[in-house]
Amino acid sequence: MISDDPSFGGLRFMQLGMVALAIGMLFGVIGGFQFLFPEFLQELLFTKTRPMHVSMVIASIFLIAIGGIYFYLPRQCKLALFSVRAVSWHYWIFLTTGLAIIACYLSGKFGGREYFEFPPILSLPIFLSWIMFGVNYFKTVRQDKKPWPVYYWMWGTGIVFFFITYTESHLWLIPYFRDNMVREIMVQWKSYGALTGSWNMLVYGTALYIATRISGCDKYARSKLAFSLYFLGLFNLMFGWAHHTYFVPSETWIRTFAYFVSMTELYIFGKIIWDWRSSLEDWQKNRYCNAYRFLIAADIWVFVNLGLALIISVPAFNLFTHGTHITVAHAMGSTIGINMMVLLASVFYVIREELPNEVHANCSRQLRFGFWTANISLAVFFSALILAGIGKGVYDGASFQEMMTGIRPFLLAFTLSGVSMMVGFWIILWHGFRLMGKIIAPVRLSAAQAA
């Protein structure tokens, strides 16, 4: 299925991303119930549901972000894709690798590494398709002879850094790293910290792109401020991983250095507040009401998450929060609250551009309902995790089971809010998927006619 319409491929990625997210959330909810009731779906081991959830959700972040890039460049930035065929290849490699990974999980073949719990051999096609993506991207944006807007830099940096950090996260295959436990853990968590940093770059680039387009003013993506944000983000991408590693016994200077690096996030925090407030005045909120709503939600979650991130990056607090559900709150709050909201803004921005009347005509109420359900549930979800984390952090007895019983009410609230959050997102995703299909349909038709 290789279409000649260059924007077709991007939308396919976005659709696949929405499917992955919907299924990934389902596995998250199943895992939540298994956490509470070990008998629940016992045949489907937790060792399977957890990686299904994590991998599908991470895949959906990448898919929707990549899809946006493949769509925006040819459709809106007036840059012909260097290779349209490579987009199709990328899509099919992604899909087949994804299915192979799912097959491994369900049949119990694990690589057993945190986050990438699949056999490392399956990383090869991921590397390969990523190189194709990178070459395609840079060859495409190179056509733009003007100084690049900030989002081109962010996307490009995200692509390059993902490659580097993904390589790093496979260094354990080399005995030099594997044989030294401390070194191994340092490398592993350093790479994971930077890995999330690299997809954040893709997501933030997308956010700035949409913000620029909605405001209709290019100045914003070329301003000094936007670039200082980029460089601070880049700095954090290179050094901000450090707060993952306070506990691994390593040289003290690394730990101290890590601490100061984390503090630079404060600075970024200030910048983001500024951005947020100024962008409020600029946007044509009504025209892009859905995309706008998701972006504002993302911004609010930026505040909440950065507040939490700053607190837990102070080593004295980290001592209590590390390895507790507060870390999970940090991870979930930023992936769902920030990344997902931005990416959904991207989805509904595309829909508004391509089908100007569709949303208002039939589903804006449902979308609003889904939006509020998802966000309110996320707030409960987030608070429940923090409370559970505090419970675990302050517990000083020796019984793991006693501690778990103590925090059980919070875990229950966490799981139930996970269910309602999933329902909210499902409503949104269903309409997003359906409407995107409507955009693709005529594109496919005209491609067939042309042939």
Partner 1 sequence: MYTFQIYTSGTDVKHIMPISDTARHGQQLYQDNNCVACHQFYGLGGYMGPDLTNVISNRGEPYARAFITAGSARMPNFGLSTAEIDALLTFLAFVDQTGTYPLENYSVSWIGSVAQVDDPQ
Binding residues for partner 1, per CB under 8 A? 35, 38, 45-47, 50-51, 110-114, 117, 168, 177-183, 185-190, 238, 244, 246-252, 254-256, 259, 314-319, 322-323, 325, 327-328, 400
Under 8 Å between Cβ of 427 and 370: yes
To partner 1, the closest distance from the beta carbon of 391 in angstroms equals 12
CB 41 → ligand HEC: shortest distance, Å? 12
447 φ, ψ to 5°?
Answer: -65, -40
Q: Which does 186 bind (CB under 5 to 8 A by kind): ligand HEC, partner 1, none?
A: partner 1
Interacting partner of 250 out of ligand HEC, partner 1, none (Cβ under 5 to 8 A depending on kind)? partner 1
Name the residue nearer to partner 1 (CB basis): 249 or 307: 249
Query: Residue 319 touches which of partner 1, ligand HEC, none (CB < 5 to 8 A by kind)?
Result: partner 1
- Counting every residue written for the chain, the total comes to 451
Q: Which residues between 378 and 417 bind ligand HEC (CB under 6 A)?
A: 400-401
Which of residues 20 and 52 has its CB atom nearest to ligand HEC in the complex? 52
Q: How far is the CB of 315 from partner 1 (least distance, A)?
A: 4
Q: Which amino acid is at 219?
A: K
Side-chain half-sphere exposure of 306, counting CA atoms within 13 A: 18
Residue 202 to residues 198, 303, 339, Cα–Cα distance (Å) = 7, 19, 9
Minimum distance, C-beta of residue 36 to ligand HEC, in the bound complex (Å): 12
Q: Which of 47, 143, 284, 362 binds ligand HEC (CB under 6 A)?
A: 47
- Burial of 176 by CB count in 10 Å (0-12 exposed, 13-18 middle, 19+ buried)? exposed
Least Å distance between CB 149 and ligand HEC? 47
- State how far the Cα of 217 lies from the Cα of 311, in Å rounded to an integer: 36
Degrees (nearest 5) of the Cα angle 43, 46, 48?
85
Q: CA Rg, the chain, in Å?
A: 22
CA-nearest of 167, 244, 156, 168 to 201 is 156
Question: Does residue 46 interact with ligand HEC by CB under 6 A?
Answer: yes
Contacts for 90 with CB less than 8 Å, ≥ 6 apart: 9, 66, 129, 132, 133, 136
- How many Å apart are CA 321 and CA 323, to the nearest integer? 6
From the list ligand HEC, partner 1, none, which binds 187 (C-beta under 5 to 8 Å, kind-based)? Answer: partner 1
Query: Whose Cβ is closer to ligand HEC: residue 272's or residue 403's?
Result: 403
List the single partner that 189 binds among ligand HEC, partner 1, none, CB under 5 to 8 Å by kind: partner 1
> What are the tokens at 377?
């549930």
Tell me the closest approach of the beta carbon of residue 29 to partner 1, in angstroms: 15
Give the CA distances from residue 241 to residues 120, 133, 206, in Å, rounded to whole numbers and listed in that order. 23, 25, 22
Residues of span 178-197 touching ligand HEC by CB under 6 A: none
Closer to partner 1 by Cβ: residue 38 or 147: 38
Q: How far is the CB of 451 from partner 1 (least distance, A)?
A: 47
Task: Give residue 387's identity as a one-letter amino acid code.
Answer: L
**Cβ-based nearer residue to partner 1, 226 or 388:** 388
Nearer to partner 1, 54 or 435 (CB): 54
- Cα–Cα–Cα angle for 180, 183, 186, nearest 5°? 145
Q: How many residues make contact with ligand HEC (CB under 6 A)?
A: 4
Interface residues toward ligand HEC, by CB under 6 A: 46-47, 400-401
